[in-house]
């Protein structure tokens, strides 16, 4: 029997669900789940990450590893070489299988574990639209997408029914990683245990069906909708699938065949119990078979005279062509995602594309966002440091650091060739431009 104070009703439900396997399920509560990281191929190669950290591969995605080390204060983490993620959490995106060029919506996206995984797999081609209804959480999502150097993202904070009305049939693939009763979190999070009740499970299932009905309208014909949770309850998983198929008969459920986890109780979806090195993840996959309606009108962004200053600045800083159209919006210059986008009216958009610069006082200053999204070979000036160099720690604390005497002006700071941020160099010193909100305290 575990020391965890698990609710009696929860234990009874799990016993009924698992039968003979209940004891081995319970035994898992005596240990903590294995920790993990996920490679961000937008900024770092597999070879580099493997040689620097020596993580152990996980079967749940080609980018996921088991890794027990502390990552929070690592410069490579701050640079977005990888994302800290328990490996089984990557399974939903493995099932979604985004390909370069796809338009993908992540409906419940914060803090961004799955959105950043999708962005890696798109490799800059197509679009990742990450939505998070809770504004404070949407800001964390934005910061993670920025750290991972994603160029082709739109980040919004809207209710699913609002997106559903405005963006019908716009996406090739939609992920609903639904808010759930979080039973899969019980091993590492005692708060999830105290919040649990059968009523909570029921109200989560009602909300999940509502979100799925909105999501259904957003997928184009032949497109894919993936539903996932990190909870064990039948109401939020197999029973939800059944209710969704009844409510949206234009969808067919597809069988999931992957080399990890096990078949769920409906024989088509996927489950990852702690006995399978999973944290209660459930994944179901659907294909939309009927025609769309209300497809949104798209806008093609074109350069005009107002945008010339932004283009000039880009040319001064980088030795590549901009990957999207540079637009002057308010006091900023933005590099828009390169594909056409729908009208944003009525949707709260936190970011579309990458900020090139903003007005600070009377001067236009480059923005951290663009330096986080480039490679050292793409910039005019780069101060690169080996992992472990004390200059990196100083930089992350917001201090001035020493650089090559020949450097003059805006300079990329990187760790092992992975872009971290920037500063302004002169006379062998680099004035720190790492954002205050991201700095290490000690
Ligand atoms: N996909 C995220 C990741 O991988 O990092 C985790 C998402 S979490 C399981 C579910 C998210 O749904 C939470 O961020 C929560 O704020 C959001 N949410 C809560 N209520 C919602 C609602 N009514 N509609 C859509 N999303 C909601």
Q: Which runs of consecutive H residues, i.e. helices, occur in 148-287? A: 160-166, 190-195, 198-216, 238-247
CA distance 328 to 355: 10
Q: What is the pTM of this model?
A: 0.97
List the one residue out of 343, 337, 297, 301 whose CA is nearest residue 104: 337
Q: Is the pLDDT of residue 2 over 80?
A: no
Confirm if 314 and 354 have CB atoms less than 8 A apart.
no
| Tens of pLDDT, residues 385-417 | 999 999 999 999 999 999 999 999 999 999 999
- When computed from its CA atoms, the radius of gyration of the chain, rounded to whole angstroms, is 23
| Tens of pLDDT, residues 259-312 | 999 999 999 999 999 999 888 999 999 999 997 666 788 888 888 899 999 999
- Our answer on whether the CB atom of 288 is closer than 6 Å to any ligand 1 atom is no
Number of residues written out for the chain = 442
* Closest atom of ligand 1 relative to the 230 alpha carbon: 9
| Tens of pLDDT, residues 197-226 | 999 999 999 999 999 999 999 999 999 999
295 vs 75: which has the higher pLDDT: 75
If you average pLDDT over residues 72-81, what whole number do you get?
96
Closest residue (by CA) to atom 14 of ligand 1?
110
According to the model, what pLDDT value does residue 338 have? 87
Active site residue 230: yes
Token readout for 417 is: 């060739």
* Closest atom of ligand 1 relative to the 179 alpha carbon: 10
- Our answer on whether the CB atom of 274 is closer than 6 Å to any ligand 1 atom is no
- Our answer on whether the CB atom of 141 is closer than 6 Å to any ligand 1 atom is no
Cis amide bond preceding 111, omega within 30: yes
32 secondary structure, DSSP code: P
CA distance 185 to 438: 27
296-319 burial: b if 16+ Cβ within 10 Å, else e:
eeeeebeeeeebeebbebbeebbe
């Amino acid at each position: 029997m575990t020391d965890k104070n698990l609710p009696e009703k929860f234990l009874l439900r799990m016993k009924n669900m698992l039968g003979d396997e209940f004891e081995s399920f319970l035994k898992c509560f005596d240990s903590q789940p294995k920790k993990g990281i996920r490679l961000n191929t937008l900024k770092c190669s597999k070879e580099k990450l493997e040689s620097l950290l020596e993580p152990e591969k996980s079967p749940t995605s080609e980018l996921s590893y088991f890794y027990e080390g502390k990552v929070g204060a690592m410069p490579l983490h701050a640079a977005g070489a990888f994302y800290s993620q328990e490996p089984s959490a990557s399974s939903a995106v493995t099932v979604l299988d985004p390909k370069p060029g796809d338009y993908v919506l992540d409906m419940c996206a914060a803090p961004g574990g799955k959105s950043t995984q999708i962005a890696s797999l798109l490799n800059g081609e197509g679009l990742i639209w990450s939505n998070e209804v809770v504004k404070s959480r949407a800001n964390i999502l934005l910061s993670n997408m920025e750290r991972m150097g994603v160029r082709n993202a739109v980040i919004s904070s809207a209710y699913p029914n609002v997106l559903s009305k405005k963006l019908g049939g716009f996406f090739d693939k939609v992920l609903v990683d639904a808010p759930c009763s979080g039973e899969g979190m019980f091993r590492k999070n005692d708060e999830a245990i105290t919040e649990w009740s059968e009523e909570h499970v029921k109200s989560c299932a009602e909300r999940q069906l509502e979100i799925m009905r909105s999501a259904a309208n957003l997928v184009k014909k032949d497109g894919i909708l993936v539903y996932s949770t990190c909870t064990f309850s039948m109401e939020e998983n197999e029973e939800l699938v059944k209710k969704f198929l009844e409510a949206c008969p234009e969808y067919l459920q597809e069988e999931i065949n992957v080399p990890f986890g096990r078949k769920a109780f409906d024989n088509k979806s996927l489950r990852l119990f702690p006995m399978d090195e999973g944290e209660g993840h459930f994944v179901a996959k659907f294909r939309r078979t009927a025609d769309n309606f209300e497809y949104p009108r798209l806008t093609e962004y074109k350069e005009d005279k107002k945008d010339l200053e932004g283009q000039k600045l880009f040319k001064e800083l980088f030795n590549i062509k901009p990957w999207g159209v540079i637009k002057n919006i308010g006091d900023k210059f933005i590099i828009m995602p390169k594909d056409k986008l729908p009208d944003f009216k009525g949707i709260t958009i936190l970011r579309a594309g990458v900020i090139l610069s903003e007005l600070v006082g009377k001067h236009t200053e480059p923005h951290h966002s663009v330096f986080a999204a480039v490679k050292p070979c793409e910039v005019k000036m780069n101060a690169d440091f080996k992992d472990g160099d004390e200059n990196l720690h100083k930089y992350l604390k917001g201090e001035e650091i020493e650089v090559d005497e020949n450097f003059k002006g805006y300079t990329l700071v990187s760790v092992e060739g992975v872009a971290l941020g920037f500063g302004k160099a002169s006379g062998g010193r680099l004035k720190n431009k790492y954002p205050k909100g991201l700095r290490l305290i000690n």
